[in-house]
């Protein structure tokens, strides 16, 4: 018993002295190692350290179990407790230094963290007692970790909103909000005196999205109707995934398709012969290609929604002598309408937020024009062009991107929420 | 009315039946259009991109002339590295002319400078690196395979013709005629181009040398970051929400939040990354670690949704059985529910990774579009990514880059097909109906 | 006296539907075997039998609703007024206009009460103008004993009615296409006793105009509303005859066991 108690204590002291010596050597070696390698080494050392802590905790608990009648938790849980305290110590050490700006230098920080970690482990070892609920303790920590992870989603939203709002406020200090919201001229200049009115961009965005929906909604909806009501199971089993491939293709591929195939085609066979312009990037190019991309968003969700319409309604209609198409048009689609509206709204939000297709297909000129064969630009294109390259976060020309981002975020969020609410209500109706 | 027979169709029924046929035809047409678009898209990209995998090379012996690369003859590294690629270009041009003369090929009226123009400037740099690494090569004649210039390369891919060459100051019909003679003499050859996937990007004037190497490495690093971050976080969040979360306003908020995050435009995540990771936390631009973290935030909600579905698909009877033998709730989840849900979780994970791999818009904002020539040594070094490389190539002037961009898309699509096929295979193999 | 009257009526009615040697398969499952049944005009015929005996399946053969199930295959001869309904020249749309159907669960369309009833006449073009349509809707709702309850809210959605009202609405909807045969697949199984009594009364009333075939789980219901009864068991028609005879003096021991509650 005594020996078993002394052993870990000696080990700790040994580790402490060894750790200090190692740290000195490390300081010498530091200059020779690349930062990446240093980080990897640090990680590996931490892992080894925690494994040792685990083994020590477990062995100690195992030893105790042999001497007492009954322990609340299995030895492994006591080992886990040692790991938690050790990790907590190390983490606290690192964080304390990181936020105070490394007052003792990199090396001091490492030593400090190691010392705290060792103290943590040492404390954990003293807690090992028959009635200590190590399992409950561990489970609580795991639970805390699970909750923390589920909060990442919330933090992401907070981060998005905070960064957008903060920088937008910054922008409005440098540039009048009224100009941004009411001016119809977009003309950023890099010496000051820019006009940054959002309307040409909103117009381009809505124009492209409208064309996309005009392409995607009929095709997507009719495909969904055919798949849900007419197609044999065999046709359905390959046609549905085949259409969904369209949704899995990265948008950069559509962008390139717009740039090298659709754009020149539209210019050579439509725009130039009709005298409507000679630009290969145009609202029509981006809208058509985006429409193709959006087809599966309409068709998949509509297909689900049409399938959710109870069979009894179809039977009722067919039983009265309606043809299948009459059943679809007069019973199934009206019953599915709210869900389909939700699907279309989601597709619209997708189209409004799409970036690569418009960057490569729509052009960069901010214009308020009705000619679909003219190059126009969208909110997303301007976010990209204002924020790539050398970005200096003091000029309104750069910061305007955040105001554009906030506009885009609000617009798509609104559409999404409305769509989700509609779809959810619809599903509940038939449950 | 009563007298009507079932065996004959009345006119109204005939009309209704033809409306039926039209409607049905309309549905079929819609599907055919959608699939035709898919096929058109793929064919157009593959035709434009497949030439990127073939490349014109010039193979000839090169005399590493001491009078050009080491005038002093001292082999002093400092003096050696003072010789620029221009000098090595001259070396290549001289050797090529010597080879042409040796094989007795008719030069036409080409000037030496025009012959030099047929060799890619990139090859001079390659040769320079070779000689600097091994100065003993100086004075010897070594076999060398140089890249043909972009225009000569384009000639063998149909991009450059005699007519366009006549108008082009970078090449001339005479050069193309000579190239054909070199082809006959086996000096010029068109071969499979491994460099396209291994070499780094090249500058604006050298499309023939541009490769995807750094983009592939960068994308791989980012996928590693996404995997290491989003798998534990995504699974942990899903377990909490699906198995433990009480049903109250807070968890409802988290759920709505996740559903909405999955539909937030990807570019917004780019803004977030720029503001938080680069401006606020001071992490380097163009680094795979930042790209990986941005893509993780974007992918997380898209992973949590299928993961929760997989957990939900495990029947309650399994949980009851484990709880019944005295396991704690957490043990039940980790010992029984999670292993059974794993195939579904992995499938969702792979599909999420595939989406992240193809994503480009947020990466543009955090500087992954920069021109990078050196392979990254770690997650904090500058790199590019496959889809972003495609975009930056399309913004360049030389038409040779369009072919490269399309070729890069083929590489990207191959990765995606492999990943999705794996996901489908996993789903088929482990699919379980309870 | 009433019984006497009914029997004579039954005897003088011609055959509306003749089914001979009908077989139905679901994939490999042989669900209906060698069924021969004659359905008389202006008569209520009840199909009874334990669950899964095929009575609903056979009912759905009579207006070819089984066509909508991909794995289902029907063989044998079914004639309505001497015409084979499975003849390739027969359009199921016309057939179903002639042979209406009411389903187990009330299934009003998510439309107004008026539009529910007007649906059939509209698609079949039975009325020339709005006034005629109004008339048809009103008379069908009256026949379905629903007019009094809904006349003030014809534009309310059909789904807002109670279960019994919904089922009567579905019956009104079915008779609005002026069918000659009305098939009812357990029309009262989802209804409470009061609503059931109302629907049964309605069925008895409908007999004056239509030939009604009703599938039911309840023997009491069969005894109450039908004149003729067929007993289905394991896909066969075990016994078919006058309702009074089936219930008081069954010829087959299986019928007797079922009626006395030993199988089912």
Size of interface A-C (CB pairs under 8 A): 71
Q: How far apart are CA C194 and CA C163, in angstroms?
A: 11
- How far is C163 from chain B, CA to nearest CA, in Å? 33
Is the model's pLDDT at B25 over the cut of 90? yes
Is the model's pLDDT at C153 over the cut of 50? yes
C47: left (phi over 0), alpha (psi -120 to 50) or beta: beta
Confidence of residue A18 (pLDDT cuts 50, 70, 90): low
What confidence tens digit (pLDDT) does each residue in A26-82 have? 555 555 556 667 777 877 888 888 888 888 888 888 888 777 767 777 788 888 888
Beta strand C99-102 pairing with C181-185: parallel
The verdict on A255 and A359 lying in the same domain is yes
Q: Which residues pair with B119 in a beta bridge?
A: B148
Contacts of B16 in chain C (CB under 8 A): 93, 123
Q: Which of B4-18, B30-44, B282-296 has the lowest mean pLDDT?
A: B4-18
Nearest chain A residue (CA) to B289: A36
SS3 B25: helix
Put simply, the answer to whether B9 touches C94 (Cβ < 8 Å) is yes
How many structural domains is chain A composed of? 2
The verdict on A188 and A108 lying in the same domain is no
Contacts of C80 in chain B (CB under 8 A): 6
What's the rounded mean pLDDT across residues C15-41?
90
**Does residue C263 or residue B303 have the better pLDDT?**
B303
What's the rounded mean pLDDT across residues A399-422?
91
Contacts of A232 in chain C (CB under 8 A): 70
Is residue A316 assigned to a domain? yes
Confidence of residue B308 (pLDDT cuts 50, 70, 90): very high
Helix locations, A309-391, DSSP H: 311-319, 324-327, 333-353, 356-361, 379-387
SS3 A195: strand
What confidence tens digit (pLDDT) does each residue in B152-164 have? 888 888 888 888 8
The rounded percent of chain C whose pLDDT value lies above 90 is: 52
Whether residue C36 lies within 8 A of chain B, CB to CB, comes out as no
With tokens 């000129």, the residue in question is A365
Instruction: Give me the half-sphere count of Cα atoms (radius 13 Å) on the Cβ side of residue B135.
Output: 12
Confidence of residue A16 (pLDDT cuts 50, 70, 90): low
CA dihedral B416, B419, B422, B428 (to 10 degrees): -70
Q: How far apart are CA B332 and CA B339, in angstroms?
A: 10
The verdict on A119 and A191 lying in the same domain is no
**Does residue A102 or residue A283 have the better pLDDT?**
A283
Q: Which of A93-102, B116-125, B169-178, B238-247 has the lowest mean pLDDT?
A: A93-102
What's the rounded mean pLDDT across residues B89-107?
86
pLDDT of residue A92: 81
Size of interface B-C (CB pairs under 8 A): 30
The verdict on A258 and A397 lying in the same domain is yes
What domains, with CATH codes, occur in chain B? Answer: 50-193 (no CATH), 213-430 (1.10.3720.10)
What's the rounded mean pLDDT across residues C63-69?
87
What confidence tens digit (pLDDT) does each residue in A309-357 have? 999 999 999 999 999 999 999 999 999 998 899 999 999 999 999 999 9
CA terminus-to-terminus distance, chain B: 54
The rounded percent of chain B whose pLDDT value lies above 70 is: 98
**C263, C50 contact by CB (below 8 A):** yes
The rounded percent of chain A whose pLDDT value lies above 90 is: 41
The verdict on A119 and A186 lying in the same domain is no
Size of interface A-B (CB pairs under 8 A): 263
pLDDT of residue A2: 43
SS3 A275: coil
Distances in Å between the alpha carbon of A196 and those of A20, A208, A404, C112? 59, 21, 10, 52
Question: Taking Cα atoms as reference points, which of B44, B63, B185 lies closest to residue B127?
Answer: B63
Neighbour subunits, C (≥3 Cβ pairs < 8 A)? A, B
Q: Which of A99-113, B171-185, C5-19 has the lowest mean pLDDT?
A: C5-19
Is the model's pLDDT at B280 over the cut of 80? yes
Helix locations, C112-153, DSSP H: 113-124, 130-143, 147-150
Put simply, the answer to whether C91 touches B17 (Cβ < 8 Å) is yes
Q: How far apart are CA A124 and CA A376, in angstroms?
A: 65
Q: Which of B12, B232, B254, B263 to probe the A interface (max A CBs under 10 A)?
A: B263
Mean pLDDT of all residues belonging to chain A: 84
The verdict on A188 and A75 lying in the same domain is no
pLDDT of residue B355: 92
The verdict on A196 and A107 lying in the same domain is no
Contacts of B30 in chain A (CB under 8 A): 218-223, 226
Nearest chain B residue (CA) to A412: B264
- How far is A301 from chain C, CA to nearest CA, in Å? 21
Q: Which of B45-49, B120-124, B219-223 has the lowest mean pLDDT?
A: B120-124
Q: How far apart are CA A150 and CA B233, in angstroms?
A: 8
The verdict on A189 and A101 lying in the same domain is no
pLDDT of residue A4: 47
Whether residue A308 lies within 8 A of chain C, CB to CB, comes out as no
pLDDT of residue B111: 83
A84 lies in which domain range? 2-132
What confidence tens digit (pLDDT) does each residue in C96-149 have? 989 999 999 999 998 899 999 999 999 988 888 999 999 999 999 998 889 999
Cα angle: A172, vertex A177, A182; to 5 degrees: 155
Of B240, B260, B360, the CB nearest to A149: B240
Is residue A59 assigned to a domain? yes
**B116, B92 contact by CB (below 8 A):** yes
Q: How far apart are CA C18 and CA C80, in angstroms?
A: 7
Is the model's pLDDT at C216 over the cut of 70? yes
Is the model's pLDDT at C2 over the cut of 50? no
What confidence tens digit (pLDDT) does each residue in A263-276 have? 999 999 988 888 88
Of A232, A315, A322, the CB nearest to C65: A315
**C113, C156 contact by CB (below 8 A):** yes
Q: What is the CATH number of the domain that holds A197?
A: 1.10.3720.10
What domains, with CATH codes, occur in chain C? Answer: 2-259 (3.40.50.300)
Is the model's pLDDT at B433 over the cut of 80? no
Confidence of residue A1 (pLDDT cuts 50, 70, 90): very low
**C60, C73 contact by CB (below 8 A):** no
Is the model's pLDDT at C8 over the cut of 50? no
Put simply, the answer to whether B16 touches C80 (Cβ < 8 Å) is no
Is the model's pLDDT at B1 over the cut of 50? no
pLDDT of residue A15: 55
Confidence of residue B57 (pLDDT cuts 50, 70, 90): very high
**Does residue B326 or residue A202 have the better pLDDT?**
A202
Is the model's pLDDT at C213 over the cut of 90? yes
Is the model's pLDDT at A129 over the cut of 80? no
**A153, B300 contact by CB (below 8 A):** yes
DSSP A278: -
The rounded percent of chain B whose pLDDT value lies above 90 is: 35
Last residue of a domain, one of A98, A116, A132: A132
Is the model's pLDDT at B3 over the cut of 60? no
Put simply, the answer to whether B387 touches A250 (Cβ < 8 Å) is yes
Extended beta strands in B178-237, E state: 188-192
DSSP C196: H
Of A316, A322, A335, the CB nearest to C123: A322
Put simply, the answer to whether B6 touches C125 (Cβ < 8 Å) is no
**A263, A302 contact by CB (below 8 A):** no
């Amino acid at each position: 018993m005594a020996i078993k108690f002394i052993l870990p204590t000696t080990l700790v002291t040994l580790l402490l002295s060894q750790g200090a010596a190692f740290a000195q050597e490390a300081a010498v070696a530091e200059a020779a190692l690349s930062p990446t390698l240093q980080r990897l080494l640090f990680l590996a050392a931490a892992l080894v350290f925690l494994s040792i802590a685990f083994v020590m905790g477990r062995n100690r608990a195992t030893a105790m179990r042999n001497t007492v009648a009954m322990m609340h938790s299995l030895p492994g849980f006591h080992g886990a407790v040692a790991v938690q305290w050790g990790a907590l110590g190390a983490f606290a050490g690192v964080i304390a230094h990181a936020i105070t700006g490394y007052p003792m230098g990199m090396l001091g920080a490492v030593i400090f963290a190691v010392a705290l970690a060792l103290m943590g482990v040492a404390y954990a070892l003293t807690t090992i007692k028959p009635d200590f609920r190590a399992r409950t303790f561990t489970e609580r920590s795991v639970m805390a970790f699970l909750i923390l992870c589920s909060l990442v989603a919330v933090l992401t939203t907070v981060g998005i909103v905070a960064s957008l709002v903060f920088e937008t406020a910054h922008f409005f200090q440098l540039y009048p909000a009224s100009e941004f919201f009411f001016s119809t001229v977009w003309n950023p200049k890099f010496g000051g005196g820019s006009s940054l009115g959002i309307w040409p961009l909103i117009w381009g965005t809505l124009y492209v999205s409208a064309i996309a929906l005009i392409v995607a909604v009929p095709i997507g909806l009719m495909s969904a109707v055919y798949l849900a009501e007419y197609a044999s199971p065999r046709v359905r089993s390959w046609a549905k995934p085949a259409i969904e491939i369209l949704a899995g293709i990265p948008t950069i591929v559509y962008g390139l398709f717009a740039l090298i195939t659709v754009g020149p085609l539209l210019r050579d066979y439509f725009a130039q012969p009709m005298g409507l312009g000679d630009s290969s990037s145009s609202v029509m190019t981006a809208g058509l290609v985006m429409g193709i991309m959006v087809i599966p968003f309409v068709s998949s969700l509509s297909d689900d929604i049409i399938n959710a319409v109870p069979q009894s309604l179809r039977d009722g209609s067919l039983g009265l002598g309606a043809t299948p198409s009459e059943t679809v048009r007069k019973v199934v689609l009206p019953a599915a309408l709210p869900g389909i509206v939700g699907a279309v709204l989601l597709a619209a939000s997708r189209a409004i937020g799409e970036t690569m297709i418009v960057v490569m297909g729509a052009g960069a000129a901010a214009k308020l024009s009705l000619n679909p064969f003219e190059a126009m630009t969208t909110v997303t294109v301007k976010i990209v062009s204002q924020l790539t390259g050398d970005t200096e976060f003091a000029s309104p020309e750069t910061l305007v991107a955040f105001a554009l981002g906030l506009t885009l975020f609000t617009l798509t969020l609104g559409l999404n929420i409305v769509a989700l609410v509609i779809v959810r209500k619809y599903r509940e109706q038939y449950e | 009315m009563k007298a009507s027979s079932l065996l004959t169709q009345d006119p109204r029924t005939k009309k209704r039946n033809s409306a039926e046929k039209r409607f049905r035809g309309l549905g079929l047409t819609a599907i055919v259009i959608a699939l035709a678009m898919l096929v058109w898209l793929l064919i157009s990209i593959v035709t434009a991109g497949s030439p990127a995998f073939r490349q014109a090379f010039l193979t000839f012996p090169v005399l590493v002339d001491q009078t050009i690369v080491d005038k002093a003859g001292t082999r002093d590294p400092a003096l050696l590295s003072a010789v620029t690629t221009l000098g090595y270009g001259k070396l290549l041009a001289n050797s090529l002319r010597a080879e042409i003369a040796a094989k007795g090929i008719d030069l036409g009226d080409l000037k030496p400078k025009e012959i030099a123009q047929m060799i890619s400037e990139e090859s001079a740099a390659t040769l320079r690196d070779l000689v600097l690494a091994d100065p003993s090569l100086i004075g010897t004649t070594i076999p060398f395979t140089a890249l043909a210039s972009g225009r000569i390369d384009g000639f063998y891919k149909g991009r450059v013709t005699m007519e366009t060459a006549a108008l082009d100051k970078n090449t001339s019909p005479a050069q193309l005629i000579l190239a054909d003679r070199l082809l006959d003499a086996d000096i010029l050859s068109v071969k499979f181009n491994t460099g396209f996937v291994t070499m780094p990007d090249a500058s604006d004037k050298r499309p023939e040398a541009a490769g995807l190497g750094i983009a592939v490495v960068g994308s791989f690093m980012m996928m590693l970051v996404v995997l290491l971050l989003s798998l534990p976080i995504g699974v942990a969040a899903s377990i909490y929400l699906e198995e433990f979360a009480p049903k109250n306003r807070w968890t409802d908020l988290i759920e709505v939040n996740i559903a909405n995050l999955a539909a937030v435009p990807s570019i917004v995540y780019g803004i977030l990354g720029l503001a938080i990771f680069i401006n606020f936390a001071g992490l380097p631009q163009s680094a795979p670690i930042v790209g990986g973290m941005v893509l993780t935030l974007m992918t997380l909600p898209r992973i949590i949704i299928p993961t929760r579905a997989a957990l939900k698909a495990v029947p309650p009877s399994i949980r009851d059985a484990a709880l019944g033998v005295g396991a704690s709730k957490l043990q039940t989840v980790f010992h029984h529910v999670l292993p059974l849900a794993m195939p579904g979780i992995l499938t969702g994970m792979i599909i999420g990774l595939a989406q992240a791999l193809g994503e480009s818009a947020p990466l543009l904002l955090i500087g992954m579009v920069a021109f990078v020539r050196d392979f990254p040594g770690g997650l904090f070094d500058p790199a590019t990514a496959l889809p972003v490389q495609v975009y930056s190539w399309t913004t360049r002037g030389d038409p040779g880059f369009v072919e490269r961009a399309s070729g890069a898309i083929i590489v990207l699509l191959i990765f995606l097909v492999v990943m999705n096929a794996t996901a489908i295979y996993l789903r088929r193999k482990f699919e379980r109906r309870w | 006296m009433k019984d006497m009257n009914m029997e004579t009526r039954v005897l003088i009615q011609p055959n509306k539907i003749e089914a001979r040697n009908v077989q139905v398969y679901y994939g490999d499952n042989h669900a209906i075997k060698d069924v021969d049944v004659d359905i008389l005009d202006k008569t209520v015929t009840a199909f009874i039998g334990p669950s899964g005996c095929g009575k609903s399946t056979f009912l759905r053969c009579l207006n070819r609703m089984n066509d909508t199930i991909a794995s289902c295959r029907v063989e044998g001869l079914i004639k309505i007024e001497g015409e084979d309904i499975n003849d390739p020249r027969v359009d199921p749309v016309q057939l179903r206009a002639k042979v209406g159907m009411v389903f187990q669960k009330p299934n009003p369309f998510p439309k107004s009460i008026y539009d529910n009833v007007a649906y059939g006449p509209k698609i079949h073009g039975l009325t020339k103008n709005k006034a005629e349509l109004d008339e048809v809707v009103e008379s069908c709702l009256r026949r379905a004993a629903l007019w009094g309850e809904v006349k003030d809210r014809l534009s309310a959605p059909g789904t807002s009615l109670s279960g019994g009202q919904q089922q009567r609405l579905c019956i009104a909807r079915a008779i609005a296409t002026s069918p000659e045969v009305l098939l009812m697949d357990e029309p009262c199984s989802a209804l409470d006793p009061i609503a059931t009594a109302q629907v049964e009364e309605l069925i008895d009333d409908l007999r004056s105009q239509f030939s009604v075939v009703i599938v039911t789980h309840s023997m009491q219901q069969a005894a109450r509303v039908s004149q003729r009864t067929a007993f289905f068991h394991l896909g066969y028609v075990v016994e078919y005859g006058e309702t009074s005879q089936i219930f008081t003096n069954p010829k087959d021991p299986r019928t007797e066991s079922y009626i006395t509650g030993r199988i089912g």
